[in-house]
Amino acid sequence: MPSLIFRVRNYYAAFQDGLRRATRAPRVSLLPSITRSSFSEDPGWRGVTLLGMNETIERELRSTDAAILETLPLYKPLASSELLTRDQNALLSHLSTACLGATSATLVLIENDRTWEAETVLRSVAEGSLKFAYLVASPQDFASRYREYTEALPDIAVLRSHERAREVIELSGEPNAPQLQPYRELLVAQDRLDLLRQQYPRDVRGKLDQAWSFSGLVGALSQSQLKGADVFGALLYGYWSANQIAHMTWEGISMPIERRMRDESRRQAVENAHAARILSDCYSYNILRLHTGLEFVGADLTALKTLLADHKLKLNQSINLWKEWHDLEYPQQPWQTANSRHT
């Protein structure tokens, strides 16, 4: 089966066309499928491995890759639903495809033992997936949320890009310089600026920004009728951690350093558990988009439930890796499965 990166190149076209059967191709490693075209014309080029990936994580990565690919044909009822206009279908398609692209990038980073960097890219997958779920979580609110995402937020972005471009031009001291043309094209005529500021005063912009922020999305989804709505709040800590890494805060630069200072057994255990958790999140965010999308259009979930049951048997290594790390770090508090906690 071709890798996720191979398939994502043609995913948008497949989605728009009812997710037709993708062209078959030999299975390729995730990284070389990119590096052969990006870094070398040598057909024997095999990519770059920065630190290497142990066999346990490699198997889990391949299983996750294959499992996500197996879910893609199940998007067909959403892609072909008559409940959506062409533009609405295009939005969900674009957003889902963008999430899939970021997922493939996350897998590449895990393959190359860049777990912390993968965490920052996974943050984009999380944001896109929650926005997708928020759009379709409430059929009665879909139209208004669609307008906010495709009209109001872009209009507000125009105001901000205008101000940023104006500052660059003014600071240059040469506002008419040819190299500043890209910035001048971002400037907006005064009459449109006035109209946008009147339409979106500061308090309205603030409310929209908050509603579509990660914490705002988590809050709204936690109060929704979606299955498992009560667990959305648990996503906030992971997102906070990814933000620290992305923004190079003291916490963000300290976490990787502290890990490298651990003895070999503890370091390897936590690295395995960390990578396994990211892989699990990649799969789970894809299921979130698929499940909420199918429920939105009233599609039959039988095929999805059958596939999930099959994947539960195949993707069980993550739990074992988490358990190994937990029992090593906290020997006085042995790992308990969900079932054992309720018995």
pLDDT tens column, 25-42: 333 344 333 222 222 333
Amino acid letter, residue 145:
R
What's the mean pLDDT in 248-259? 94
Q: How far apart are CA 252 and CA 242, in angstroms?
A: 8
In this predicted structure, the answer to whether residue 162 has a pLDDT above a threshold of 60 is yes
Tell me, rounded to whole angstroms, the distance of Cα 126 from its chain centroid.
Answer: 4
In this predicted structure, the answer to whether residue 176 has a pLDDT above a threshold of 50 is yes
Residue 262 has a pLDDT of 93
Cβ-count burial of 80 within 10 angstroms (0-12 exposed, 13-18 middle, 19+ buried)?
middle
pLDDT band at 50 (very low <50, low <70, confident <90, very high): very low
Q: What is the largest CA-CA distance in the chain?
A: 74
Question: Quick count: other Cβ atoms within 10 Å of Cβ 102?
Answer: 22
Contact 96, 289 (CB under 8 A): yes
In this predicted structure, the answer to whether residue 8 has a pLDDT above a threshold of 50 is no
Which residue from 281, 296, 318, 295 is spatially nearest to 124, judged by alpha carbons? Answer: 281
The helix/strand/coil state of 333 is coil
Q: Which of 14-18, 44-48, 72-76 has the lowest mean pLDDT?
A: 44-48
In this predicted structure, the answer to whether residue 252 has a pLDDT above a threshold of 80 is yes
Residue 152 has a pLDDT of 97
- Residue predicted with more confidence, 55 or 207: 207
Q: How far apart are CA 17 and CA 292, in angstroms?
A: 20
Residue 337 has a pLDDT of 66
In this predicted structure, the answer to whether residue 192 has a pLDDT above a threshold of 70 is yes
What's the mean pLDDT in 182-208? 96
In this predicted structure, the answer to whether residue 68 has a pLDDT above a threshold of 60 is yes
Contact 281, 122 (CB under 8 A): yes
What's the mean pLDDT in 52-81? 89
The torsion defined by the Cα of 85, 89, 95 and 98, in degrees rounded to 10, comes to -140
- Residue predicted with more confidence, 213 or 338: 213
Residue 270 has a pLDDT of 94
Cβ-count burial of 342 within 10 angstroms (0-12 exposed, 13-18 middle, 19+ buried)?
exposed
Distance (Å) of CA 218 to CA 98, 229, 293, 295: 20, 9, 17, 19
Which residue from 100, 150, 110, 123 is spatially nearest to 29, judged by alpha carbons? Answer: 110
Q: Using one digit for the tens of pLDDT, what is the confidence trace for 10-24? A: 333 333 343 333 333
pLDDT band at 338 (very low <50, low <70, confident <90, very high): low
Residue 332 has a pLDDT of 86
Q: How far apart are CA 220 and CA 232, in angstroms?
A: 9
Tell me, rounded to whole angstroms, the distance of Cα 218 from its chain centroid.
Answer: 15
In this predicted structure, the answer to whether residue 198 has a pLDDT above a threshold of 50 is yes
Q: How far apart are CA 121 and CA 242, in angstroms?
A: 9
Cβ-count burial of 191 within 10 angstroms (0-12 exposed, 13-18 middle, 19+ buried)?
exposed
User: Where do runs of H (alpha helix) occur along 223-263?
Assistant: 235-246, 250-260
In this predicted structure, the answer to whether residue 4 has a pLDDT above a threshold of 60 is no
Cβ within 8 Å of residue 113, ≥6 positions away: 49, 50, 51, 52, 53
pLDDT band at 336 (very low <50, low <70, confident <90, very high): confident
Contact 105, 84 (CB under 8 A): no
Place of tokens 């533009």: 87
Mean pLDDT of the chain: 84
Q: Using one digit for the tens of pLDDT, what is the confidence trace for 282-329? A: 999 999 999 999 999 999 999 999 999 999 888 877 888 999 999 999
Q: How far apart are CA 149 and CA 155, in angstroms?
A: 10
Q: How far apart are CA 123 and CA 242, in angstroms?
A: 6
Share of the chain above pLDDT 90, in %: 70
Q: How far apart are CA 78 and CA 19, in angstroms?
A: 10
What's the mean pLDDT in 169-194? 94
